[in-house]
Every structure is written in structure tokens, then in C-alpha cells.
């Protein structure tokens, strides 16, 4: 998972949940996917789609979030 910078910066590793349409009772936008954060590489980076409980990547470990699709890159 990346955040908007020039160039985009890797801030976390995790899993994309294809087919999910809701995260934290909020409908995903067409350009978002549900992700589960499994490993943080930059704890102080801001979450692109913050929620009340989580605004920094370091707070997101083992949490589901909405993430912009253009900021997701596959490792495989």
C-alpha cells in the first residue's frame, strides 16, 4: 500500500479483499478497495482514507481500511 507523494511511497503491506463493498459500515467508492494491514513500513504516514479511530498507518495494523486502488501494487 502506498501514499500519494512524488513518487508514491510504500507505507504498508497487506491483503486486498476483492469483491468487498463496505468497510466500517461505509460503502466503498468505485476507486477504492478493502485492505487489511498486515505489516507497517512507515508508522507515521497518513492513511489516504482516514476513519475516526485510525489516521496514521501505525494505528492500522490488523485493521480493515478503504484504500485508493491506484495506490495498491501487487508484490507477486
For 16-54, the pLDDT digits (tens) are: 999 999 998 999 999 999 999 999 999 999 999 999 889
Q: What residue numbers bound the domain in which 34 lies?
A: 2-71
Residue 6, domain member (yes or no): yes
Residue 76, domain member (yes or no): no
Residue 66, domain member (yes or no): yes
pTM here is 0.91
Residue 50, domain member (yes or no): yes
Q: Is the separation of the CB atoms in 36 and 63 below 8 Å?
A: yes
Exposure of 11 by Cβ count < 10 A (0-12 exposed, 13-18 middle, 19+ buried)?
buried
3-state secondary structure of 19: coil
The tally of domains found in the chain comes to 1
Amino acid at each position: 500500500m502506498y501514499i500519494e507523494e512524488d513518487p508514491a511511497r510504500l507505507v504498508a503491506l497487506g491483503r486486498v479483499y476483492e469483491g468487498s463493498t463496505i468497510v466500517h459500515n461505509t460503502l466503498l467508492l468505485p476507486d477504492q478497495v478493502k485492505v487489511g494491514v498486515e505489516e507497517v513500513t512507515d508508522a507515521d504516514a497518513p492513511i489516504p482514507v482516514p476513519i475516526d479511530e485510525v489516521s496514521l498507518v501505525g494505528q492500522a495494523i490488523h485493521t480493515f481500511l478503504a484504500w485508493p486502488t491506484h495506490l495498491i501494487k501487487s508484490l507477486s
